[in-house]
């Protein structure tokens, strides 16, 4: 991460240098701490849904590192001049719902008065020092798996613009509220080589971080990438968040693409809230994971593969 220098402490196992999902700090030969913090603005109108989504989003960083959430602290920025205290209570209750579902313990928090409403968590988890997952360790020959469809940013924009159907809004809220817990627990049974979660930089941004960190090229198969219901229609109606265009401007030079129309690529740049896990496995382990996920009703799709480094870190075919 630009501007951050890795501390000299030898117990820091994962620091800021690869823009990973969390930091990891060695405690004992059996236990390391995984720590992360994430705060978002409301992606849904319902306060309780906002709380669940924000908590699921923050907890996801621990799962992406191969860890198990242990404790959490609320972080809220609340406009007391424009919203009733009961709204904050509902948001915190929604967050508590997700924290409980994760088997995590809420130990406190802090609220700041602010003009813009924001909420999230600081989360501490545990992981075995020898079982840490990083976003920078993909291997050429691996296959890429994604555990949630894309489109939450586009659908949230449509909801705010009163253009989304009830079904589209419900689907977006459902995916954003879904913990990555079950997918992560299943993933750990099949020797993943690298993992990250897909959030604000979109699939392209987080895939780029994985590729640059490992010195490889990630090939994404456009037709295989799953989208939430109604995403192409909402793009056609102009319901595209500014963050999508910002991601496209920032990462476009890192991308080698086939003859695809720009609109077809937009979901890949869409900033996700509480998105899925992007995981690399050996081909054998990927297929075993996908079979098991299908049997357990866990969403997972094969979306590409890892190639030796080409001229650019990403290739979309």
> Given this model, what pLDDT does residue 240 score?
97
Q: Is 32 helix (H, G, I), strand (E, B) or coil?
A: strand
> Given this model, what pLDDT does residue 129 score?
98
> Given this model, what pLDDT does residue 263 score?
82
> Given this model, what pLDDT does residue 2 score?
54
Q: Which residue matches tokens 């690298």?
A: 194
The arithmetic mean of pLDDT across residues 287-313, rounded, is 98
- Which domains, ranges and CATH numbers included, belong to the chain? 12-127 (3.30.1330.10), 143-316 (3.90.650.10)
Residue 124's nearest CA partner among 165, 172, 65 is: 65
Can you state the angle between helices 262-269 and 242-251, rounded to 10 degrees?
Answer: 100
Residues 198-229 have pLDDT tens digits of 999 999 999 999 999 999 999 999 999 999 99
Can you state the angle between helices 242-251 and 152-160, rounded to 10 degrees?
Answer: 150
> Given this model, what pLDDT does residue 76 score?
98
d(CA 72, CA 70): 7
> Given this model, what pLDDT does residue 8 score?
86
Residues 17-43 have pLDDT tens digits of 888 999 999 999 999 999 999 999 999
Q: Which residue matches tokens 């968590």?
A: 121
State the first-to-last Cα distance of the chain, in angstroms, to the nearest integer. 29
12 confidence band (pLDDT: 50, 70, 90): very high
The arithmetic mean of pLDDT across residues 65-89, rounded, is 96
> Given this model, what pLDDT does residue 3 score?
62
| Per-residue burial over 89-114, b = 16 or more CB atoms within 10 Å of its CB, e = otherwise | ebbbebbbbbbebbebebeebeeeee
Residues 228-268 have pLDDT tens digits of 999 999 999 999 999 999 999 999 999 999 777 778 999 99
Residue 245, token pair as written in the block: 């265009």
pLDDT beyond 90 at 106: yes
Stretch among 2-6, 40-44, 297-301 having the lowest mean pLDDT: 2-6
pLDDT beyond 80 at 62: yes
d(CA 269, CA 199): 10
> Given this model, what pLDDT does residue 18 score?
83
């Amino acid at each position: 991460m630009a501007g951050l220098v890795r501390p000299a402490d030898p117990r820091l196992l994962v620091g800021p240098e690869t823009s990973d999902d969390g930091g990891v700090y060695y405690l004992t030969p059996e236990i390391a701490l995984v720590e992360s913090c994430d705060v978002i603005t409301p992606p849904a109108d319902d306060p309780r849904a906002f709380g669940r989504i924000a908590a699921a989003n923050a907890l996801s960083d621990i799962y992406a590192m191969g860890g198990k959430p242990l404790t959490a602290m609320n972080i809220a920025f609340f406009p007391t001049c424009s919203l009733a205290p009961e709204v904050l209570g509902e948001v915190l209750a929604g967050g508590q719902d997700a924290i409980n579902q994760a088997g995590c313990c809420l130990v406190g928090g802090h609220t700041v008065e602010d003009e813009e409403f924001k909420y999230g968590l600081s989360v501490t988890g545990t992981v075995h020092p020898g079982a840490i997952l990083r976003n920078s360790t993909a291997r050429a020959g691996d296959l890429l798996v994604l555990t949630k469809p894309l489109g939450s940013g586009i659908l949230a924009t449509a909801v705010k613009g009163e253009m989304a159907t009830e079904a589209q809004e419900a689907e977006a809220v459902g995916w954003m509220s879904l913990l990555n817990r079950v997918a992560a627990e299943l993933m750990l049974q099949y020797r993943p080589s690298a993992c990250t979660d897909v959030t604000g930089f979109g699939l392209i941004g987080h895939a780029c971080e994985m590729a640059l960190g490992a010195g490889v090229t990630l090939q994404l198969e456009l037709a295989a990438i799953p989208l939430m219901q109604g995403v192409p229609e909402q793009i056609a109606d102009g319901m595209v968040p500014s963050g999508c265009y910002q991601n496209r401007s920032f990462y476009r030079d890192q991308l080698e693409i086939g003859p695809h129309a720009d609109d077809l690529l937009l979901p890949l740049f869409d900033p996700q809230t509480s998105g899925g896990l992007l995981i690399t496995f050996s081909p054998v382990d990927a297929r075993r994971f996908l079979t098991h996920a299908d049997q357990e009703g866990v969403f997972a799709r094969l979306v590409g593969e890892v190639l030796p480094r080409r001229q650019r870190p990403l290739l979309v075919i």
